[in-house]
Amino acid sequence: MERHQNLQSRRYRWTVFACALAVLVVAGAEALRWAHVARSKAVPTLPKAVSSGRVALSELSRSHIPMPQGVPSAHASALTALAGDRMLAFWWAGSRESGPDVKVYASRWHNGGWSPPWEVASRASLGKALGFGVRRIGNPVAWTDRDGRIHLYVVATGLGGWAASRVAHMISADHGASFDVKRVLPMSPLFNTSVLVRTNPVGTGDGGWWLPVYFEIGIKYPMLMAFDAEGDPTWLGRIGERTTTLQPAIVPVSNTEVRAWMRDASDEQRVQHVTSRDGGHSWEDQPPLNMANHDTSLAVIRLSSGQFLMLHNPVEAGGSSRSTLRLSISNDSHSWRTVADVARGPAGDEFSYPTMQQVGDELHVTYTHQRQSIAHHRYRISLGDTI
């Protein structure tokens, strides 16, 4: 009996050793693969400034994107511009976050209105295409390439929670009517898990783009994945050294200088800020902004006039972390002033996960409204005094 137990014990130790070795080999291979990839010299695309003057924003309309019938919860919208001043919105909707019935939906903006929504992805469709079980799906992020193809990135998990997530890359060649699953993005040495997406990609001069991503298991940190013009990943890099920031909003300032603002999961509770001076290859942590951030997602873009716009959740007396959604503007990306409160309610209300797109002379804003729908505000952008 003792000999049998010793044999079982040795087998168990060898099994544990073999599993640990396999994990180390995979982790090492992944680390070496990304460490030795030649990084592209492509620089980010800058908006063509039409004026350095101040900007006036006048609200044109506010509405809600049509929801699928009988679906009570919605969250995490994303926008991508199409030719002809058109636009697509993506979001997830279902009975609740992480619910088995959650699906990613899309709607098209054209001629001043939103189309009825259609289904883009579900647990079943992603699981069938990827070849493994998908337990839940989450944040979508979209990018339209120079050939008009739409690249959609969707968070999907197998076992475990969001910290065990992967990112599925889907492509549409018919303006979003249908999508084919291209790959699971190779972003983590932990079998490509524990990485998520949330914020807008940034175009590069060679027709490629940068996709902001973030790692979240135990610690949290932002990263950047670069794609070439064909939509293939070329390199992956970490943004800054902090271990409590996520969901980076990346904005180019010049051909070499890039800045990013992040959601803060630390005790500082401020908007975190990093800068790159070599085109996104290395990043330096900056002091946090004097703007509250109680672990909430934000959005930042640069207008064609050169100013920076930020959508964020300030925390005010009598409110809560997501009960106010504010639009702020900056000329230098350091000092910010309030433009308007896009949404405001009592403590416990939720107006969160904002995103923005400039389409022509209009600014489009979408955000989660009370976890029940996706709200849409439209502003006219003109020169003058900022409201």
- Tens digits of per-residue pLDDT, 238-256? 999 999 999 999 999 988 9
| Cα angle 285-386-345, degrees, rounded to a multiple of 5 | 75
Concatenated DSSP letters of 170-197: EEESSTTS--EEEEE----TTTT-SEEE
Contact by Cβ (8 Å): 154, 137: yes
pLDDT digits (tens, 9 = 90+) for 156-204: 987 777 777 899 999 999 999 999 999 999 886 656 678 999 999 999 9
Rounded Cα distance between 216 and 151, Å, is 23
pTM above 0.85, yes or no: yes
pLDDT digits (tens, 9 = 90+) for 131-148: 888 999 999 999 999 999
pLDDT digits (tens, 9 = 90+) for 308-352: 999 999 999 999 999 999 999 999 988 999 999 999 999 999 999
Rounded Cα distance between 75 and 92, Å, is 6
Rounded Cα distance between 373 and 170, Å, is 24
Rounded Cα distance between 334 and 51, Å, is 20
pLDDT of residue 387: 44
Rounded Cα distance between 71 and 93, Å, is 7
What residues pair up with 151 in beta bridges, in sequence order?
143, 171
Q: Tokens at residue 332, please? A: 């230098």
| Cα angle 67-96-102, degrees, rounded to a multiple of 5 | 65
Determine how many CB atoms are found less than 10 A away from the CB of residue 316: 14
Rounded Cα distance between 249 and 95, Å, is 29
DSSP symbol at 65: P
Q: Which residues contact 187 (CB under 8 A, 6 or more apart)?
A: 167, 195, 213, 223, 225, 236
pLDDT digits (tens, 9 = 90+) for 199-228: 999 999 999 999 999 998 889 999 999 999
- For residue 363, report the phi and psi dihedrals to the nearest 5 degrees: -105, 125
Give the strand pairing for 272-276 and 165-172: unpaired
| Cα angle 325-326-328, degrees, rounded to a multiple of 5 | 155
pLDDT digits (tens, 9 = 90+) for 74-98: 999 999 999 988 999 999 999 999 8
